[in-house]
A and B are shown apart, each in its own frame.
Chain A
């Protein structure tokens, strides 16, 4: 359990327009110190993620108060314009067992719920862009009339907490404070030129305040400190309808003396509070019926006139969860109307055993669902077939029932009646418009079987005009692609050219046939690159200019990185030399069509007339069906079931 009466206050300084936030939050620290709390101010550079985490780990504060820039998913103190999240939806487990207040924009949308799901006691923040007016953005807002009304309103929430109020009361006090200042603007200050705008934004901020979690939580402990232990912990997984027991003791922290006759609450997400009364040994115990889904629960003693509140550990229980293991992936390709198979096992996560008798459906084929019923071991097999040439992404789905939660497999792309591909075929993704005619960028992709490269397909955009008054000579009106191996950066294949008419608007897929059908090796990463004319613009001291060049673009290494090496158009470098990397945050629609290749095995047998010798080939069939075998002019078949 986190330490009562202790808070970390995250106060960025020079970050984008946050100076006034720094001064505003200082008033919260001042009040906390007056109230006798231990306050750890994380100021300026100390407000970045690593020092904040160090402080939380060292002091284990119950209250995290912070000001900064926010988005729906992240809270950041972006010193020097670096957008560096302190907490985001994927990294907020450090806030478990704490009360969190983020004076920031939008974090109540996704980050706040994520903080609660990660076990925080309570969260408060805003689901809108928190907005304020100020006469001077560089001074303490409490010294200003207009800005003061905004910061005094917002600060009422953390100030109520450090003064000992519970979260629910702090919320009410904060809204009352907003209303107080709105009322001032609507009465004695209604003739002020800032009245209308101030009312508008105070209303906006007030209605954006969002408080989640347990409203009974307080951060200040008065009286004798108490501890809630958990001696019988709930299980990590359970079945729907299971009755689980949670049991512990309420003790004086210093003496470990039992506290009988006290009420302990169990707070469980999505369910009403349940209560237990401690016995002569301070023991409390509760039996809880589990509902389907993920639930969080913890114990709480609210405190009384003699004893401080205490919070027990937070537990996460997965109830009725399932997973689907894939035992046989669908093939990468199939002929029109050919039936291929996709198999797996539906598993009860609580026992790790297969779930029998459940319906599993095939999704993504676009022509209705195929259904399979899991057998006694939870195994299922789905038949995949279509008469429509397409490259759907298919997956198997268990939709869940009254006891078990839904689950799906990962998706697999299958080319039906078309060549299989590897790469990214989502049209339009990664295209760059504006002053960059015809550029796409690629990414590194792995091929899952042996093959021969047939075509590169890319989504291209040619713009029709540049900025007004600019001119540009097209150095080359041709585009072509190539393929490099990731491991040694060697050239694996080059395509034919595609010619375009400069500044004739075009958006769409272009197919580039390979000059030679390069052999592609299973489980190997390849880099897709494209040669195309590029316009480079620059801005020096306000003078905008441009140059033009032909460059080699492709992706090297991690996803979402563009590699850029200047080469002349007709130069095919033997290796992809030391590319420059710069993050662009997009991936391109570019993929390689290939012909699958079956492993070729040969044995040479020399026989004299009248002699014979058995010949054995090892074949590992990848799917059910009839296989054709030929040895010279001798032919036969075998069937795999």
Chain B
């Protein structure tokens, strides 16, 4: 298992107010990466992701993935917003409205999965 192609170019963590990719984290803050990759419980991983993945970081990750052409229109069996283009998704995430918070939660869950992938 490996990170999907292109994910290595996205900001992966925020350290001292700066967004860093995985490589940058490895070079500049190896101790942070080491702590992240230590075999810890799933709960610990979730905890790390929750603490480090700010909404700004998550939104930036989505935006860059969108600019790389790797985000699609999503369809939902939802009464209010059954279809959302990537641009609409980004607006909702930036606005942090109800839909935006759902989109951020999905992005956060995916970041937790990436941490799991790297650890394994």
Task: Tell whether B15 is near chain A: CB-to-CB under 8 Å.
Answer: no
B79 contacts A78, C-beta separation under 8 Å: yes
Q: Which of A118-158 contact B (CB under 8 A)?
A: 128-134, 137, 146
Residue of B nearest to A195 (CB): B4
Residue of B nearest to A204 (CB): B106
Q: A132 CA to B79 CA in the complex, in Å?
A: 15
Task: Tell whether B7 is near chain A: CB-to-CB under 8 Å.
Answer: yes
Q: A103 CA to B113 CA in the complex, in Å?
A: 25
- Smallest CB-CB A-B distances: 10 pairs: A195-B4, A200-B110, A196-B4, A105-B78, A186-B1, A191-B5, A129-B78, A204-B106, A129-B76, A133-B72
Stretch binding the partner chain, chosen from B20-28, B37-45, B47-55, B63-71: B63-71
CB distance from A187 to the nearest CB of B (A): 6
A129 and B1 contact, Cβ closer than 8 Å, known pairs A16-B82, A207-B109: no
A17 and B74 contact, Cβ closer than 8 Å, known pairs A129-B102, A203-B110: no
Task: Tell whether B35 is near chain A: CB-to-CB under 8 Å.
Answer: no
Beyond A106-B78, A185-B4, A204-B105, 6 extra complex contacts between A and B, CB < 8 Å: A128-B102, A133-B73, A186-B117, A194-B72, A197-B65, A197-B72
CB within 8 Å of B: which residues of A?
16-18, 20-21, 67-71, 76, 78, 83, 103-106, 128-134, 137, 146, 182-183, 185-187, 190-197, 199-201, 203-204, 207
CB distance from A570 to the nearest CB of B (A): 43
CB distance from A138 to the nearest CB of B (A): 12
* A83 touches which of B79, B81, B102, B109 (Cβ 8 Å): B79
- Would you give 25 A-B contacts (Cβ < 8 Å), ordered by A? A16-B82, A17-B75, A17-B82, A70-B78, A104-B77, A129-B78, A129-B81, A131-B74, A131-B106, A132-B74, A133-B73, A133-B75, A187-B2, A190-B1, A190-B2, A190-B3, A191-B4, A193-B6, A195-B5, A196-B70, A197-B65, A197-B70, A197-B72, A201-B74, A207-B109
Task: Tell whether B60 is near chain A: CB-to-CB under 8 Å.
Answer: no
Task: Tell whether B32 is near chain A: CB-to-CB under 8 Å.
Answer: no
Contacts of B82 in A (CB 8 A): 16-17, 69
Q: A18 CA to B109 CA in the complex, in Å?
A: 26
Task: Tell whether B14 is near chain A: CB-to-CB under 8 Å.
Answer: no
A69 and B110 contact, Cβ closer than 8 Å, known pairs A190-B4, A191-B5, A196-B70: no
Contacts of B6 in A (CB 8 A): 193, 196
Q: Which of B79-120 contact A (CB under 8 A)?
A: 79, 81-83, 102, 105-107, 109-110, 113, 117
CB distance from B120 to the nearest CB of A (A): 10
CB distance from B117 to the nearest CB of A (A): 6
CB distance from B60 to the nearest CB of A (A): 14
A190 contacts B5, C-beta separation under 8 Å: yes
B107 contacts A200, C-beta separation under 8 Å: yes
B77 contacts A194, C-beta separation under 8 Å: no
Contacts of A207 in B (CB 8 A): 109
Contacts of A193 in B (CB 8 A): 5-6, 68-70
Contacts of A104 in B (CB 8 A): 77
Residue of A nearest to B66 (CB): A197
Contacts of B3 in A (CB 8 A): 190
* A76 touches which of B79, B102, B105 (Cβ 8 Å): B79
Residue of A nearest to B112 (CB): A203
A186 contacts B79, C-beta separation under 8 Å: no
Q: Which of A134, A192, A199, A207 has the most CB of B within 10 A?
A: A199
B65 contacts A196, C-beta separation under 8 Å: yes
A129 and B5 contact, Cβ closer than 8 Å, known pairs A199-B110, A203-B113, A204-B109: no
Q: Which of A17, A21, A137, A183 has the most CB of B within 10 A?
A: A17
Contacts of A78 in B (CB 8 A): 79
B75 contacts A20, C-beta separation under 8 Å: yes
Contacts of A17 in B (CB 8 A): 75, 82-83
A69 contacts B78, C-beta separation under 8 Å: yes
Contacts of B71 in A (CB 8 A): 197
Q: A105 CA to B6 CA in the complex, in Å?
A: 30
A69 contacts B70, C-beta separation under 8 Å: no
A105 contacts B75, C-beta separation under 8 Å: no
A105 and B76 contact, Cβ closer than 8 Å, known pairs A69-B82, A186-B2, A186-B4: yes
Contacts of A131 in B (CB 8 A): 74-76, 106
B79 contacts A71, C-beta separation under 8 Å: yes
Q: B4-17: contact bitstring with A at CB < 8 Å (1 yes, 0 no)?
A: 11110000000000
Q: A69 CA to B69 CA in the complex, in Å?
A: 28
Contacts of B7 in A (CB 8 A): 196
CB distance from A190 to the nearest CB of B (A): 5
Q: A319 CA to B102 CA in the complex, in Å?
A: 40
Q: A83 CA to B83 CA in the complex, in Å?
A: 16
Contacts of A106 in B (CB 8 A): 78
* B77 touches which of A70, A146, A200, A204 (Cβ 8 Å): A70
Residue of A nearest to B111 (CB): A200
CB distance from A257 to the nearest CB of B (A): 47
CB distance from B2 to the nearest CB of A (A): 5
B4 contacts A132, C-beta separation under 8 Å: no
Contacts of A201 in B (CB 8 A): 74, 106
Contacts of A103 in B (CB 8 A): 77
CB distance from B58 to the nearest CB of A (A): 11
Contacts of A20 in B (CB 8 A): 75
Contacts of B78 in A (CB 8 A): 69-71, 105-106, 129
Residue of B nearest to A104 (CB): B77
B113 contacts A199, C-beta separation under 8 Å: yes
A105 contacts B77, C-beta separation under 8 Å: yes
Q: A146 CA to B71 CA in the complex, in Å?
A: 12
A70 and B75 contact, Cβ closer than 8 Å, known pairs A186-B4, A190-B4: no
Q: A43 CA to B117 CA in the complex, in Å?
A: 42
Contacts of B107 in A (CB 8 A): 200
B75 contacts A200, C-beta separation under 8 Å: no
Q: A397 CA to B113 CA in the complex, in Å?
A: 49
Residue of B nearest to A189 (CB): B4
Contacts of B70 in A (CB 8 A): 193-197
Q: A595 CA to B113 CA in the complex, in Å?
A: 67
Q: A91 CA to B110 CA in the complex, in Å?
A: 37
Residue of B nearest to A182 (CB): B113
B76 contacts A130, C-beta separation under 8 Å: yes
Q: A251 CA to B78 CA in the complex, in Å?
A: 45
Residue of A nearest to B1 (CB): A186
Contacts of A129 in B (CB 8 A): 76-78, 81, 102
Contacts of A186 in B (CB 8 A): 1-2, 4, 117
CB distance from B11 to the nearest CB of A (A): 14
Q: A100 CA to B75 CA in the complex, in Å?
A: 23
B5 contacts A130, C-beta separation under 8 Å: no
CB distance from A225 to the nearest CB of B (A): 36
Contacts of B4 in A (CB 8 A): 185-186, 190-192, 195-196, 199
